[in-house]
Each structure stands twice: as C-alpha cells, then as structure tokens.
Amino acid sequence: MTVELRGIGRRFGERWILQQLDLKVEKGECVALLGASGCGKSTALRLIAGLDQPDCGDLLIEGEPMDRVPARQRRIGMVFQSYALFPHLTVRGNLDLGLRLRGGAAQDRQQRIEAMLDVVQLRELADQRPAQLSGGQRQRVALARALLRDPRVFLLDEPMSNLDAQLRDELRPELKRLILDGPQPVLYVTHDQVEAMALADRVAVMRHGRIEQIGTPQELYDTPFTTYVAQFIGRPPMNLIAEESNRTVGVRPEHLQIDDRGMQCRVLNREWHGASQQLLLESQHGTLRMVCDGTEMLGDSLRVSWPKQREHHFSAIDGRRL
C-alpha cells in the first residue's frame, strides 16, 4: 500500500498553492508535512482525500490513479483538528453513524464499536456527548471513528493543535499506538516541528507550495539543505553568520561555547529552561543564540567560539548548502 503524488499542482486564481509536488509514502510509513500556514500542506491532504482536485499531476493510491475515484470510495481515514464530532450524539452514536452510512448488520456494527471503545480506552465514557469530554477524549473519539473505516490511508490534519502542551504530550503515545504504528501509510500535517520530529519517520519541510527538503528528523537537523530548513528545524533556530559576500556559516546554538580566545559578545537576554539556559548575544556578526548551562546574566561580557566541524556552509545568494 502506497500513496504517491507526481508533479501535483493546485492553484486558486493566479496563485499556485502547490507546485510540482512529488512525494511517495510507503506502507507503514508516517510522513509529516511540516511548514508555516499557507504553504500548501492541508491542500495536499484534501487532494488525497478527494475533497479537492489537482490542476495538474497524478495521484495514486496502491498504484491506482485517483482522478476518477470519488472521495467516498477511496477508503481514507481522515482526522481533523476540529474533531468534527456530532454534538447531539454520544460517543457510541458518533462511532455508529459512520458504520450505518456504510451499511452492515446492527449486531456486527455493535461488536466493532464495543471493541473499538476498548482500544481507545473510552468504554466508561461511551454514553457521554462531546461537550462532556475533554479535548484529548474528543480527539480519541475522532481517531476511533477513523479506525472504524478500515482505511487504506490515514490523513491527519493538525490533529493536536487544539490541545494544550500537556495534553499533546499525553496523546502522542496514544496516536502512535492507534495509528502511526499500523500498516497503513500516514500523512501527518502540522506546523509544530516538535510533533513532526517526534512522530514521523520522514519529515517534508514545505515552503511556497513545494517541498524544500525531505528526510528523517535527524537528517534534517544534521544536514539541512537550505538556510530556510536550517532555521525552521531546531529550537532555538540555527545561527546564520555572514562571513564572506558569497558564503553564510550556520552554527547550532548548542555548539557555541565559552572560549577566552573567542569572539567578544554581550548578553542581551537570558531565558532559563531548567537544565539549560538560552542566551541572546550581541556580537560583531549581529545577534546570536547560545544554549549553555552557565550562570551568565544580562549585560555580561563573554567570548564564544564553535568547533569548525560543527559549521554548516550555505550560499549567501540562494541559501543552498555548499
């Protein structure tokens, strides 16, 4: 089972939302589409689901072209950030509705629903309505509904963006258990790099309707192809230092180190992050970010350097890796 996009383009008026998008997701693989709002990542999901049509290119699921296959026949399990639950129905009723629309005996539907309630650990809340559930519980209902469709492909569109940080941390293992570790290909749309790096096998960083770079989380962090990826992946972002007219040097904040023979800097800001602190430094090359475990304070002067082997070199003209 695979999902493949070949040269996909989609435009609204004169503006291209997606441009020559090429992507293949294998069986059992999770690929995150990561990028800022408006980069085209949700549009890509809508095209795969059949909720919209591309202006050019080919979309295939298990090698079958989807241009003439309506959405209801594609067997897509889609989970939205808004949950999209029916407020007047109970948890059990929300799960049953999709099965009833697809047909099937009532006894068979009931058996599948009861088994699914155990899978998502919601049996005790089966008779509650969505307004009586927490955000994490509502999202589990949405995941259960998608699972009951027995989909060939899972599409997740910002599924945890409405949850607070603690709930997102709690739901990640559940998401992996229920969907990401399954046999289906999964596309996961998010603007949160922590989610993408934690959950996906590969991450596609999108910009202006194109994939800027795709790779494993470690590949994107260790060897970014462009300055855009270098600063988008990693918090705090990579420092970019103009050394020559045609060259930019990138250095991760954690690779800066205090060195009496290094470059003179002054502490402009300090944030305490528990095990470490993040410093904003004023230097001859502009502001730099540094992660360390020292006790420097606002206004302090210090000298910093970095190992040459930790440098990343980019073209100052187009931002691409040299």
- Model confidence pLDDT, tens digit, residues 122-170: 999 999 999 999 888 898 898 888 888 889 999 999 988 888 888 888 8
Residue 95 has pLDDT above 80, yes or no: yes
Q: Residue 55's pLDDT is what? A: 97
Residue 260 has pLDDT above 90, yes or no: yes
CA–centroid distance for 234 within its chain: 13
Number of other CB atoms surrounding residue 161 within 10 Å = 15
Residue 83 has pLDDT above 90, yes or no: no
Task: Give the residue carrying structure tokens 């096998």.
Answer: 201
Tokens of 74: 């594609």
Which of 305 and 174 is assigned the larger pLDDT? 305
Number of other CB atoms surrounding residue 160 within 10 Å = 25
Q: Residue 303's pLDDT is what? A: 95
Residue 82 has pLDDT above 80, yes or no: no
| Among 235, 237, 226, residue whose Cα is nearest residue 287 | 237
Residue 118 has pLDDT above 80, yes or no: yes
Q: Residue 202's pLDDT is what? A: 98
Q: Residue 243's pLDDT is what? A: 83
Q: Residue 252's pLDDT is what? A: 97
Please calculate the CA angle 275-276-278 and round it to the nearest 5 degrees. 150
Mean pLDDT of 207-225: 96
HSE toward the beta carbon, residue 234, CA cutoff 13 A: 25
Cα separation of 239 and 195, whole Å? Answer: 22
β-pairing, 277-283 vs 286-292, is: antiparallel
Residue 236 has pLDDT above 80, yes or no: yes
Number of other CB atoms surrounding residue 106 within 10 Å = 10
Q: Residue 22's pLDDT is what? A: 97
Reported as a pLDDT band with limits 50, 70 and 90, residue 3 is very high
Q: 242-315 in CATH: which number?
A: 2.40.50.140
Omega within 30 of 0 (cis) for the link into 307: no
132 CB contacts (<8 Å, ≥6 apart)?
125
Q: Residue 216's pLDDT is what? A: 97
Reported as a pLDDT band with limits 50, 70 and 90, residue 181 is confident
pTM listed for this prediction? 0.90
Q: 3-228 in CATH: which number?
A: 3.40.50.300
Q: Residue 294's pLDDT is what? A: 76
Mean pLDDT of 240-256: 92
Mean pLDDT of 240-244: 88
> Could you tell me the residue ranges of all domains in the chain?
3-228, 242-315
Beta-bridge mates of residue 155: 78, 187
Which of 11 and 176 is assigned the larger pLDDT? 11
- Indicate the length of the chain as a whole number: 322
Task: Give the residue carrying structure tokens 């699972």.
Answer: 147
β-pairing, 76-80 vs 153-157, is: parallel
Cα separation of 89 and 258, whole Å? Answer: 60
Q: Residue 129's pLDDT is what? A: 95
Reported as a pLDDT band with limits 50, 70 and 90, residue 103 is confident
Cα separation of 255 and 238, whole Å? Answer: 10
Convert the pLDDT of each residue in 26-57 to its tens digit.
999 999 999 999 999 999 999 999 999 999 99
Residue 61 has pLDDT above 90, yes or no: yes
Tokens of 28: 């059992």
Reported as a pLDDT band with limits 50, 70 and 90, residue 102 is confident
Residue spans of beta strands (DSSP E) within the chain: 3-12, 15-25, 30-34, 56-61, 64-65, 76-80, 153-157, 186-190, 202-207, 210-215, 239-244, 247-251, 257-272, 277-283, 286-292, 301-305, 312-315
Average pLDDT of the chain to the nearest whole number: 92
